[in-house]
Structure 1
Amino acid sequence: MKKYRNFPMVPKVVFGQGSFDQLGEILLTKRKHSDAPMIFLVDDVFEGTPLIDRIPLIFNDHVIFISAEEEPKTVQVDALVHKIKNDFNDLPSGIIGIGGGTVLDLAKAISIMLTSKGHASDYQGWDLVQTPSLYHVGIPTISGTGAEVSRTTVLLGPDKKLGINSDYTTFDQVLLDPDLTRGVPKNQWFYTGMDCFIHCVESLTGTYLNAFSQSYGEKAMELCKEVYLGDLMPCEARDKLMMASWHGGMSIAYSQVGVAHAMSYGLSYVLGVKHGIGNCLVFQHLEEFYPKGVETFKQMMHKHDIKLPMGICTELSETDLDTMINVSLGMKPLWENALGKEWRNVATPEKLKSIYSKI
């Protein structure tokens, strides 16, 4: 009999405009005692804004502001875990991430490493985590990455960019408040939303596709098209993009992403390109693999007058280019989903070099 993966899902989720104000009530039942704080990791773009005053701090709860200018790193996780263990006598009651994909991934990784031995880089891979993580909550302030629902936390390590993929990575609670995504800069809104759109394209055309992932992927794709090709009111667009992100993340929970994500990992590792724009930079040149998806993507770019950077790979040394290619080709499940078991016959170093040279 075929054995199917028994993947975890987020067990509790709240959705609705203004639902952030329920956070204190939600956390109250998870507090162990007054000396076990809730640690809030918050995107530093919110420092000094009214949102900080709405965070339900009691006892010795603590806020740590996080810069999302760079991709999250394993050394950053280790440093934050060390700080938390040094600053408090007891393990926290929980870790709450408030921000985009970078902050959410850090929250997931820190909750794992607070109960695991060694370094974060030791757990980059699939199902290497053996100890249940600390209680952790995800609160996205931008929509698209699907980090709020996925079982992975993508990190830049000393020699690779790879997620901690485990049953203990998934958030215990997610709070989806579309109001928190107000004021996101246009380009960031587009790039992060395209992460969701590209999730769907890669999931729906992949060899791992099944009815479970297809049902979520199709809904997320429909919502992305409404948001980026329709003429919705801002309030409705925020609601629908948040739901697209959720469904897009679910679509890859039981399948996988593909070529754009694999190649964007190479860009990120060598050049520090952030995930959303990295996917866009690669995806625009993938007509060979995703012709309909790329056509729709370019329609969305045109409608929102998005101009992608050009020539970012032209000055790379052969060594850097080889590193970029090797990092990308190391993402075996992504290539297998995109191209099947014989993916190495298509995804050659020469093929990847030709695509990178266009970026």
Structure 2
Amino acid sequence: MVPRVIFGRGSFNQLSEIISPNRLNTKAPFIYLVDDVFKSNTWLTSRISLSYDDKILYISTKEEPKTSQVDQLVEDIILTCKERPSGIIGIGGGSILDLAKAVSILLTNEGSAENYQGWDLVKNPAIYHVGIPTISGTGAEVSRTAILTGPKLKLGINSDYTPFDQVLLDPELTKDVEKNQWFYTGMDCYIHCIESLNGTFLNEFSKTYGEKAFDLCKEIFLADNLSVAESQDKLMMASWHGGMSIAYSQVGVAHALSYGLSYYLGVKHGIGNCLVFDHLEEYYPEGVALFKTMKAKHDIELPQGICANLTDAEFDIMIKVALSLEPLWENALGKKWKTIITPEKVKSLYQKI
């Protein structure tokens, strides 16, 4: 679990006070990984107090995070810093938060990031790392995984050393999120709830968090009387609770198939989940029905024909990635999932998208 968290509108202004006790010395900087959307929009970065050799690195999120990107960031940090950094502070959406977690791990573990894709492969504790989401829904701020696309697959660095040491939740930071992105990322949280609450890994701990996140999602995406501030606050907490729910259970069919879309077609995670979930009535009938109601209420039109012109060989690549995520399928369908889900079945689902 994340050991320290602060929540509140305007709490971003406390960042310097929060992290300063963790500065190792004047030659060990804090490195800020910041979504490059804030490069020209300085209302956020102007509030970051840089001291000594602290640096802001602006990161493009046009593509999903890659193992090669992590390796390059780690190399650049090692080459330009006099000493190992005091900490990594990730400020952005799920992609930036996952990069921050991965970089903090690779600064203390040798080799490439792809070597740590999987479960409990990390040997050494990461350096101090802080997560500050500027969009709500992914749950990356609380999860024990850093999801990366590698040369062979899309899979997280799942370990007890992955979670942030400190998370700062300031709903005001989500004020400029575009409507479609707000919906797609919010639905990532909603789908977390559906997959966790309907999974075979469910337990009372994950259920409690999942039910709360599910109730918050219904308020946010179906109610007519929420103010903007209330919606921002509730979605940030839904993201936290949804992330906690899957941290103690697992996701399911939608995420497994979405990883295949992302790996081969480069589809961003949030919209990928929506594209897949729209066709999963067979597995989550009530959840999909409510998703369609939310989609209609907010006038969201999903792209069509994403997989229309793929060859059999291209489908096979996505199928291989999706089926490699065995814990997700087991959570969704039980230990005998391989007798239920075949490559042909996965292909038929992709063909609907």
Using the size of structure 2 for normalisation, the TM-score is: 0.99
Q: Which residue of 2 aligns with 1:304?
A: 298
Equivalent residue number for residue 220 of structure 1: 213
**Structure 2 equivalent of residue 6 of structure 1:** none
- Give the structure 1 partner of residue 140 of structure 2: 147
The whole-number CA distance in structure 1 between the counterparts of 2:22 and 2:283 is: 46
Distance 1:63 1:241 in 2: 27
Q: CA deviation at 1:336?
A: 0.1
Q: Choose the corresponding residue for 2:111, options 112, 115, 118.
A: 118
Offset at residue 318 of structure 1 (A): 1.1
Instruction: For 1:193 and 1:36, locate their aligned partners in 2 and report how far apart those are by CA, in whole Å.
Output: 37
The match for 1:293 is 287
- In the aligned structure 1, how far is the partner of 2:80 from the partner of 2:20? 22
Q: Which of 267, 279, 282 is matched with 1:273 structurally?
A: 267
Residues in 1 aligned to 2:43 and 2:328: alpha-carbon distance in whole angstroms? 41
Q: Percent identity?
A: 68
Aligned to 2:323: 329
Aligned-pair distance for 1:183?
1.4
Residues in 2 aligned to 1:241 and 1:205: alpha-carbon distance in whole angstroms: 21
Q: One-letter code of the match for 1:347?
A: I
Are 1:253 and 2:247 an aligned pair? Answer: yes
Deviations 1:138-191 (A, max 9, x none): 000000000000000000001000000000000000000000000100000000
Is residue 353 from structure 1 mapped to residue 347 from structure 2 by the alignment?
Answer: yes
CA deviation profile, 1:301-347 (whole Å, cap 9, x unmatched): 00000000000101111111001001000000000000001101111
Q: Within 5 Å, give how 1:126-275 maps onto structure 2.
A: 126-231=119-224, 232-275=226-269
Displacement after TM superposition at 1:15 (Å):
0.1
Amino acid at match of 2:6: V
Counterpart in 2 of 1:338? 332
Deviation, structure 1 residue 293: 0.2
Code of the residue aligned with 2:26 in structure 1: it is S
- Deviating beyond 4 angstroms after TM superposition, the runs of 4 or more aligned structure 1 residues are none
Structure 2: which amino acid aligns with 1:76? Q
2:310 aligns with 316
Q: Cα deviation per residue 1:83-130 (whole Å; 9 max; x = unaligned)?
A: 000001200000000000000000000000000001000000000001
Task: Give the counterpart letter for 2:195 in structure 1.
Answer: E
Aligned position for 2:57: 64
Q: Find out whether 1:17 has 2:9 as its counterpart.
A: yes
| Equivalent position amino acid for 2:349 in 1 | I
Which whole-Å deviations, capped at 9, do the CAs of 1:7-47 have from their partners, x for residues lacking one?
xx000000000000000001110001111000000000011
* 1:104 corresponding residue in structure 2: 97
Which position in structure 2 is the counterpart of 1:46? 38
Distance 2:180 2:20 in 1: 37
What amino acid maps onto 2:314 in structure 1?
D
Structure 1 position 76 matched with structure 2 position 65: no
Q: Are residues 1:27 and 2:19 paired?
A: yes
Q: Secondary structure at the match of 1:183?
A: coil
Q: Counterpart of 2:315 in 1: which secondary structure?
A: helix
Instruction: Give the C-alpha shift of residue 244 in structure 1.
Output: 0.1
Alpha-carbon separation, structure 1, partners of 2:19 and 2:227 = 33
Aligned mates of 1:56, 1:102 — CA distance in 2:
23
Please give the alpha-carbon distance, in whole angstroms, between the structure 2 residues aligned to 1:209 and 1:81: 36
Q: Distance in 2 between matches of 1:50 and 1:185?
A: 17
Letter in 2 for 1:237: S
Q: How big is each residue's C-alpha offset from its partner over 1:221-278, in whole Å with a ceiling of 9 and x where there is no partner?
A: 0000000001211000000000000000000111000000000000000100000000
Q: Which amino acid aligns with 2:126?
A: S
CA–CA separation in structure 2 for the residues paired with 1:347 and 1:55: 49
Q: Partners in 2 of 1:16 and 1:126 — Cα distance? A: 33
Residue 52 of structure 1, CA deviation = 1.0
User: Matched residues in 2 for 1:103 and 1:136: separation?
Assistant: 12
Unpaired runs of 5+ residues, structure 1, are 1-8
Any unmatched runs of 5+ in structure 2? none
- CA distance in 1 between partners of 2:291 and 2:214 (Å): 11
